[in-house]
Each structure stands twice: as structure tokens, then as C-alpha cells.
Structure 1
Amino acid sequence: MNKGEQTRQMIIEQSAPVFNKKGIAATAMSDIMDVTKLSKGSLYVHFENKDVLAEAVVDHNLEMLQKKVMAAIGRVDHPKDKLFAYIDAFRNPLKPLVEGGCPMLNFGMEADDQNEVVLEKVAALVNKSQQVIIDIIGKGIQQGVFKADWNYKEFATMMFAMIEGGVLISNTTRKIDKMAVINRNLKKMIEAQLK
């Protein structure tokens, strides 16, 4: 990376938690100037406007989330353990994988009515995340680990929705007890499908 690319990357990395916590609309360029210690002119050398920076930051936050979840899944081999690792990655939303909380939830809710580009980025990771669950279960069925008649594509949607819902509940109540209920019940549902 040349110096310009390094500066651009630094701006993205330092801005990422700010955008993830405050949201795109509420984040001002002065907030970015504060965290990066760069002038407005310097920021505009690397990013045409706040929207361009926000899109780069959304990409960065979503990529960080995906990498951390995939790393957790990658530490185990058994399909059941992979599903449990996915669930456990989100067990404490008050200590999120990405600083500021789940970027799918944060940016997805904000972009819902006002930013089609960001909404598409979030939707892509939502779909990809569910596909990861589907792929794990599908492989487990092929290996004879899970019951062949499991409607696992529907389960993947339900599992993903329950986890994201648990994140929302935990963040709004500032308690993780409901996420513990979701965690425990998802694992029971998975164990019920073991051969």
C-alpha cells in the first residue's frame, strides 16, 4: 500500500466504530475529523463526500463481522459444533464482534428507507450469512450427522432471525438474558436433528 492508500484505510478503520454507533445520518465529518485528526480537506482528498466514506465504512464493518464469524466457525470441524460456534459468536451482544454493535442490524435498519446502496450491501451479507448456515447443515446431512428430513433451509432463516432479534433485545434492554434463552433453544433444536 502506498501512503495515500494507507491514509484511506486509516480513515475507514477509525471511522468505522463512529458510523456503526451513531449511524450514517448522525455522523458528521467533524466526528471523522476528531477521530482521524485530519482536516476536512485531507478527508475530501480520499473520499469525495460523506456518502462515499459511509459506503466504504459499511463494507469494512460488514467484512469484519463476517471474518470474525467465519473464524469462529473455522475453529471446529463437526457440523453441530460449527452451528454452535455461529450461535456462540453472538452470545453477548453487549460485547459485540464489531465495535458499535452488529453492523447488519445497525446499518440495515437505518438504510431501510433512505440508502439503497447500503441496504443492498447489508442484504447481501444477510443472505450470505443464512447460506453459511444452510451449507453447514447440508454438509452435515450428507455426512449422516443430521436427519435427512430436516427442513434446514427454513431453520437457517429462523436461526438467523432469532440471533439478530436477540441482538436487538439485548441492545435495547442492556441485558443478555433473552439472548441466553435464544442460544439455549437454538442448540436444543439443532441437537434434536442429530441422527
Structure 2
Amino acid sequence: MMTKAEKTKQYIIEQTAPLFNTKGVAATAISDIMAVTNLAKGSLYVHFSNKDELAYSVVAYNIQLFIDRSGEEVAHFVSAHDKFFAVLDLLSDPLNHPIKGGCPILNFGMEADDTSPVIRDIVNQAIGDIQHFMKALLQKGIDDGEFKPDWDIHTFVVKAFAMLEGGILVSRIAQDNSQMLLLINLMKQEIDAQLL
């Protein structure tokens, strides 16, 4: 059971997660944090020594939300094929991303690549974890006899991940999902081509 201090710390993270993911770390002011939490600056600093420390927690929280949401979608399906398609479908509308503010990996990764080694490392770890999950899912499909055994899933996953993140970026900048839908369709065709 969480202590009162732990509950307050978690509350601060949860309330500020959409704020940081939408505005970015640099553009989020302490006054913004105070406004969404209804806490005084002194109360915030009881739980986090500075804005950066809060940002690290918020980045990890937003990424975990995204991973959990993807896991919930995957859980509705049995085959590796259908599970992978579920993830693609979840991400097919970047203008209505499952996480408020958009993809936290893209948002925080682009902002932190030159400014915050800690956030960059958090995002890099998440990229590795997600790609590992994607590969494990496809490998299970190979092991279960769904996919051709000689499919180079490592190359496919690296390409698919880059296509998804690029599609999210282009869609959000253009405010149009058409290119993302094209990319999703190409990935689905490539997956279907590997079915036995």
C-alpha cells in the first residue's frame, strides 16, 4: 500500500504526464505544473528536487502508458499475425494517438536527443524494449507455424518501427493520416506475404 507521500508523488506524475507530452519538457513551466496539480511550488519540491527529476518520471510514465495500451490491444487476439495487426491499427491514427499529446517516444526523443542524456537513455531503452517485443511476437508466429521460418524479422522490425515513428511525425505535422495509412497497409502486406 502506498504512503500518502507516494500517492501525492504519483498524482503529480499522472496529472503532469499529458502536459509534458503535449508541451515538451523545456516549454513546461513550474506554473503549468502548479496549475494542473493544484499544488504550491513548495509542495512540488517536497516530492521532486527540480523540474528535471519530475520530467524523468513523467517520460517513463508516458512511455509505460503507451506500452500498456499496446498490450491491452494485443491481449484481445490469439495469433501473432492478429496481435501485430492490432498494434498497427492502434497506431493508424496519429491525430488521435492513444496517449494524450501523441507518441511519447517521438515527442521526448526528438526533444532530448541534444538536451537531456537521461531522457534520451529512457527513450532509447524503450525503443529497444518495444523492438524486442515486436521481434518476440513475430518469432512466436514463426515457432507456431504461422510465418515462414526464414523471415528476417530483425530487419522487418527495425523498418516497421522506423516507418511507424516516421508516419506519426508526418501525420501530425500535415494533420492528415493518409501517409500513415499507406505505411500501415505496406507493413500489413509484407506481414501477409510471410504467412504459411
Corresponding residue for residue 33 of structure 2: 32
Question: Residue type matched to 2:93 in 1?
Answer: N
- 1:44-55 correspondence to structure 2 within 5 Å: 44-55=45-56
Corresponding residue for residue 10 of structure 2: 9
TM-score by length of 2: 0.97
Gapped runs of 5+ residues in structure 2?
Answer: none
Question: Residue type matched to 2:62 in 1?
Answer: N
Deviations 1:137-185 (A, max 9, x none): 1111111110111111100111111111110011100111111101111
TM-score by length of 1: 0.98
Cα distance in 1 for residues equivalent to 2:89 and 2:19: 25
Corresponding residue for residue 173 of structure 1: 174
- Root mean square deviation of aligned Cα: 0.8
Corresponding residue for residue 107 of structure 1: 108
Corresponding residue for residue 58 of structure 1: 59
4+ residue segments displaced more than 2 Å: none
Q: Kindly indicate whether residue 133 of structure 2 is the aligned counterpart of residue 158 of structure 1.
A: no
Q: Give 3-state SS (helix, strand or coil) of 1:38's partner.
A: coil
The Cα shift of 1:5 comes to 1.3
The Cα shift of 1:89 comes to 1.3
Cα distance in 2 for residues equivalent to 1:109 and 1:155: 23
Corresponding residue for residue 144 of structure 2: 143
Cα distance in 2 for residues equivalent to 1:67 and 1:119: 21
Identity of aligned residues (%): 45
